Amino acid sequence: MSKATFMTYKGYTGSVEISREDNLIFGKIECINDLVSYQAETPIELQAAFEEAVDDYLETCNEIGRTPDKEMSGTFQVRIGSELHKKVYLESVKLGTSLNDVIKIVARDFFNKEQEIHYHNHLHQTTSAVDQQVIDVPSWEQPNNVYQLKAKEARH
């Protein structure tokens, strides 16, 4: 699937496609209940044709009492492969949520790219003051010297 180019006007999205055979640029209004297309020879003319198509469509819908926007069901099937499916499932279990909720989070974050996400890692370190005392051990019993550590008593 090739990357698509779109235009927007009054909250509507229009596609942009090229026909080399016909030597023109064309498109259609996306996410509406009808097929409304437009065409032109230059990009500037295409934008004007798109805007005119949107205005005409909205006017026609208003005259006949029809809702112009296509209602999306909110449900679609996604084929992601077994390995990715397993990863998403395990993540949903880890988060204590459903597969659907994980996919909704991913989709929302995809469209909110301008939002900064900060991850914080906290390192907790405890230090103790200790006295070190060397104990001599004959080399035949122990190859290295042994260190005995005694915690300093806290002074109030």
Q: What is the pLDDT at residue 156?
A: 45
Q: Which residues contact 15 (CB under 8 A, 6 or more apart)?
A: 4, 5, 6, 27, 28, 30
Q: What is the pLDDT at residue 76?
A: 84
pLDDT digits (tens, 9 = 90+) for 60-83: 999 999 998 887 888 888 898 999
pLDDT band of 12, cuts 50, 70, 90: very high
Average pLDDT rounded to a whole number, residues 123-134: 59
**Residue 153: is its pLDDT beyond 50?**
no
* 106, β-bridge pairs: none
Mean pLDDT (the chain) is 80
Q: What is the pLDDT at residue 35?
A: 95
Q: What is the pLDDT at residue 48?
A: 98
The rounded radius of gyration (Å) of the Cα atoms in the chain is 33
Tokens 């112009």 locate to: 68
CA atoms within 13 A on the CB side of 154: 2
DSSP H stretches of helix in the chain: 43-64, 82-95, 99-111
> In the chain, what are the domain boundaries?
5-64, 82-111
pLDDT digits (tens, 9 = 90+) for 84-123: 999 998 988 998 999 889 888 888 888 887 655 555 555 6
Fill in the DSSP letter of residue 143: S
Greater model confidence, 3 or 137 = 3
